[in-house]
Amino acid sequence: MPTAPARFVVPAPCHLSARHAGHRKGPPSMSPTAARVYAVTLMKALGLVVTFLLVMAQAAIFGTGAAADAFFFARRTIGAFSGLFEQGAQRLFVPAFVQAWAAEDDGDGPRAARRVLWRATLGLSAAVALGAVGAILAAGPLVTLLAPGFEGPVRDGAILAFRILLVGLPLNMAAAVLGSFQFARRRFVLATAATLAPRVTVLAAIAGIGAAVTPAQLSWAVNAGVALMAALMLWNALRALAPAADPAPQGAPCEVIDPSLAPSDGAAAPRPAASRNRKATGTGTRATAVALFSAGQLATTWIDTALASLAGLGALAILYLAQRLLNAAPGSVNAAVSNVFYTEYAHAALATRTRQAAEVATGLRLSLFLILPIAALLLAEAPQIVRLVLERGAFDAGDSAATAGLIRALAPLLVVNAVFALAITAILADDALPMRAAAIRVSLVSIALRCVLGAALVGPFGLTGLAITFLVADGAQMATAYAMLRRALGPILAPADHAGLAGMTGAAIAAGGLLLLMPGTGLPAFALQGAAFAMAYPALAAAFGVAEARALNPRRLFSRVGRRAR
């Protein structure tokens, strides 16, 4: 990397952090990275609308009976696999695709990227297909193992839905690899739009068949959506690989001028991290770490499902619906932040790994800026949200109260999971960090606490014991990952970051308190309360000096997002 006599130019994502913006006059402007995060978040907001419509329809049709437990078991179990395929492919292949395309300096970039893409897509899809065939043949014992509390019609329905959804797993794997290629090329919005297909096809099936729809029919609708998603991902990949396509990754990282990083006279510039990392660990270590982490996440999903099946009839359905409502918006934010920042880390690694802690702090601030108000809204309005969304048809008032109580109990996990997502993303993005050790430790901590606390608390306390188990296990998992990242990078949050996080928290609490002061129930009252909350939170955050709120200019947001979307 060329050196400069007076200053060192660091290719890295732009930051909103106050530590980098203190010399500016007036409100900070929105960075390209933040614009991409908002673009992906807005696209995922369309998915939230579909998700809420699905939750409403499924709750009204199935309630919390045997059919609900059967379908939601299969959907949750296979959904865990497809989600891990997506996350694992992104974490493993985004750096590989970035490095492969970087070979364009030698005129071989698109060819190298194409070779990596097709080998990974076909090879992994074939491997998943073999595993799916085995799982279909052994579906009965697997359901008994994964949900030991299921008996009779619940078990039979779960086996059928489980087998049907297994058919679509190979296409899920193919879509995951193709999507990671889109992320590496910074085509975030196109890839995110394709992931909406399974939900859209399920909603179409419900609209077409009506209340007579069965779990088996919905399972086939999911598979149709997965096939559509894979086709869209393939089409996008072929466009990017076409000879007329722009060979350069879209939206190169901005330059951050940091005088403190300038080499002294005669000193050598820092060695590019890409070459250092390939010598130190490389793709093999990342593949091992991603596999270990994915296995740990699958194990925790199985433990959660097994514990819920032991909490009584309908407990698994309530857990599924509560988590869908609880994680819908925060999950979209976490995914948007993680996807964009992971890609930026991978691009920056080709030049030099500097100010990594500041990049993590920027991602954490942006994530919590969007998630804290959601947590406050759910804590204040969970009963009313559940009544409006779920309480109809077979879903009665008792089910509604249990679901709202579980949402409130698990609301702190929104912040916990946001911190964990950023920490584990930063660790897996950098070959110089302890990827394998982090994957092993966080998995063991989460699994051990779930087993011990779940065995002790779920039987006597039901859903309350389940909530306590999740809070403790996920909190310990987050603390483990953050501690390892801090040990590797040093202090992550500067005093300005602490002040910004305090301002966000105060604004979220104040806006949530405003909701409690506004009377009324029903959809019109809730719409008014939501509008007041949406205006109060950013205004309060800006008044408290939060840089993210000051940069969020509504008049420029959509135009900036439109320019940065691809």
Q: Which DSSP string do the residues of 368-433 spell out, in sequence order? A: HHHHHHHHHHHHHHHHHHHHHHT-STT--HHHHHHHHHHHHHHTTHHHHHHHHHHHHHHHHH-TTS
**Do residues 300 and 447 make contact, with C-beta atoms less than 8 angstroms apart?**
yes
Question: Could you give phi then psi for residue 431, rounded to 5 degrees?
Answer: -65, -20
Average pLDDT of the chain to the nearest whole number: 78
Question: Could you give phi then psi for residue 77, rounded to 5 degrees?
Answer: -70, -50
List Cβ neighbours of 316 (8 Å cut-off, separation of 6 or more): 69, 72, 73, 76, 147, 305, 308, 309
Reported as a pLDDT band with limits 50, 70 and 90, residue 559 is low
Helices (H), 411-494: 413-429, 435-461, 463-489
Mean predicted confidence (pLDDT) in 12-20? 41
Q: Rounded to whole angstroms, how far apart are CA atoms 37 and 14?
A: 12
Q: Rounded to whole angstroms, how far apart are CA atoms 193 and 197?
A: 8
Q: Give residue 182's pLDDT.
A: 85
Greater confidence, 284 or 512?
512
CB hemisphere CA count around 500 (13 angstroms): 25
Q: Is 90 exceeded by the pLDDT of residue 395?
A: no
List Cβ neighbours of 418 (8 Å cut-off, separation of 6 or more): 330, 333, 334, 337, 364, 367, 368, 371
Q: Rounded to whole angstroms, how far apart are CA atoms 25 and 19?
A: 14
Q: Rounded to whole angstroms, how far apart are CA atoms 57 and 62?
A: 9
Mean predicted confidence (pLDDT) in 106-110? 56
Q: Give residue 248's pLDDT.
A: 44
Beta strands in 160-258 (DSSP E): 255-257
Q: Give residue 244's pLDDT.
A: 54
Greater confidence, 266 or 180?
180
Q: Rounded to whole angstroms, how far apart are CA atoms 309 and 371?
A: 30
Q: Which of 561, 560, 565, 553 is nearest to 28 (CA)?
A: 553
Helices (H), 63-108: 66-101
Q: Which DSSP string do the residues of 122-176 spell out, in sequence order? A: HHHHHHHHHHHHHHHHTHHHHHHHH-TT--HHHHHHHHHHHHHHHHTHHHHHHHH
Reported as a pLDDT band with limits 50, 70 and 90, residue 504 is very high
For residue 25, give the 3-state DSSP assignment: coil
Q: Rounded to whole angstroms, how far apart are CA atoms 183 and 339?
A: 7
Instruction: Provide the total of helices (H) and of strands (E) in the chain, helices listed first.
Output: 22, 2
> Could you say which DSSP state residue 522 is in?
S
Greater confidence, 193 or 429?
193
Tokens 């939750």 correspond to 55
284 burial via Cβ count (<10 Å: 0-12, 13-18, 19+): exposed
Three-class HEC string of 515-529: HHHCCCCCHHHHHHH
Q: Rounded to whole angstroms, how far apart are CA atoms 124 and 126?
A: 5
In this structure, of 52-66, 133-147, 236-250, the range with the lowest mean pLDDT score is 236-250
pLDDT tens, 158-168? 899 999 999 99
Mean predicted confidence (pLDDT) in 167-181? 92
**Do residues 162 and 142 make contact, with C-beta atoms less than 8 angstroms apart?**
yes
Cα angle 419, 421, 423 (rounded to 5 degrees) comes to 70
Q: Is 70 exceeded by the pLDDT of residue 257?
A: no
Q: Rounded to whole angstroms, how far apart are CA atoms 167 and 429?
A: 32
Q: Is 50 exceeded by the pLDDT of residue 178?
A: yes
Q: Give residue 540's pLDDT.
A: 92
Tokens 């909603």 correspond to 203
Question: Cα torsion at 474, 478, 481, 483 (round to 10°)?
Answer: -130
Highest mean pLDDT among 91-100, 292-301, 352-361, 428-437: 292-301
Q: Which of 175, 91, 554 is nearest to 343 (CA)?
A: 91
H or E element, residue 10? strand 9-11
